[in-house]
Amino acid sequence: MSLIVTVSFIFSSQINAQFLMSPDELVQRGLLAGEKYPGLASICEIDKPLKMAGARSGVKKRVLTDEERALRAQKAIIEPQQVFDNLYFVGNRSVASWVIQTSEGLILIDAMNSNRKAEETLVPGIRSLGLDPNDIRYLIITHAHGDHYGGQKYLVDNFHPRVVMGDADWAELEKPIPEIFNPKWDAAPTRDISINDGDVIELGDTRVQLYVTPGHTLGTVSLIFGVKDGGKRHTAALWGGTGLNFGPNLDRLKMYSDSAARFQHLSKEKSVDVFLSNHPTRDNSVERLKVLAKRVPNEPHPFVDADASGAFELLRDCSLAQLVKIEQYQQRVQKNLQSISN
């Protein structure tokens, strides 16, 4: 069991050339490339303002009845499921955790939003799949938002995995007040293993490549790893942070689009044919799991997609469209101000 540090992969995305296209053209191109992943399409809604997560609108939400809460909780349930020979889904409709099975233990990706969810959903789910949570060696947290780290304390206290996260996101959680916070999330982890771009976790027969893909947060980590379906081998890419929930921040939008452009290049280079997210409505896991449950021998695997890189093209183009739209608006405002002053 070891953590192998490799040389960082350096990629120049040529993203500036895309500024020759209008926001609408970028959106159209992105939606076409990622048409198999409609759960990503909200990234492309350039007519809606980008909002900072956690911001309050001033409108008081209606309190749900007990019956409504129970119905919502029921709809959120997704049964744990084996997706590939060595990859398992546990979680709910809102957030996913993925379990990679290796010859020397388990690698868990994300911990849901609370210790209660870890205890009542993650651990029973892992056990129901015939796996032992005591075999969790690494807990990789994709980014510093509590819906992905909130259950870590229960897991660490009971099963003692090493906790892995991007260095910039460790630093974010060490601030007195992090950028995004929700009181429903449980405590942030204590700094353990910091990931640098291009690092590899090697456990038994499995290598998980880790890339820092800033945008959603400054230290978001995305993964590439092998999966098996009987005698067939495939390559999965898990995008670590999807939403543009940092508001109309031009620097962050540029980071996001650059990261997606680079990951699209990597996915082509490494023949990625499985696109995954840590939100099951984003990568169509909700629908694909249903199809997989009914799959018969010799049918195509619903998670395998030779055009999986199209998801990253959508993320690249639509985040860039958001950026171009804001810049064009700012230019118009500046022009109008100059006109008035003259």
Residue 301 is assigned to a structural domain of this protein:
yes
CATH of the domain at 212: 3.60.15.10
Residue 88 forms part of a structural domain = yes
- The confidence score (pLDDT) of residue 19 equals 54
The pLDDT assigned to 340 comes to 82
Please tell me the predicted confidence (pLDDT) of residue 70. 64
pLDDT confidence of residue 1: 41
d(CA 142, CA 164) in angstroms, rounded, equals 8
Q: How many domains does the chain have?
A: 1
What is the reported pTM? Answer: 0.90
Residues of the chain with pLDDT under 70: 1-19, 54-63, 66-74, 342
Q: Is residue 96 part of a domain?
A: yes
Please report whether residue 219 resides in a domain: yes
What digits encode the pLDDT tens for the residues 245-266?
999 999 999 999 999 999 999 9
The boundaries of the domain holding residue 192 are: 2-15+37-43+75-316
Q: What is the pLDDT of residue 56?
A: 46
Can you give the pLDDT at residue 66? 65
Task: Flag whether 201 is in a domain.
Answer: yes
**Residue 286 placed within a domain:** yes
pLDDT of residue 205: 97
Say what the pLDDT of residue 333 is: 77
The answer to whether 177 touches 202, Cβ cutoff 8 Å, is no
The pLDDT, as a whole number, for residue 338 is 77
| Predicted pLDDT at 180 | 87
On whether residue 327 sits in a domain, the answer given is no
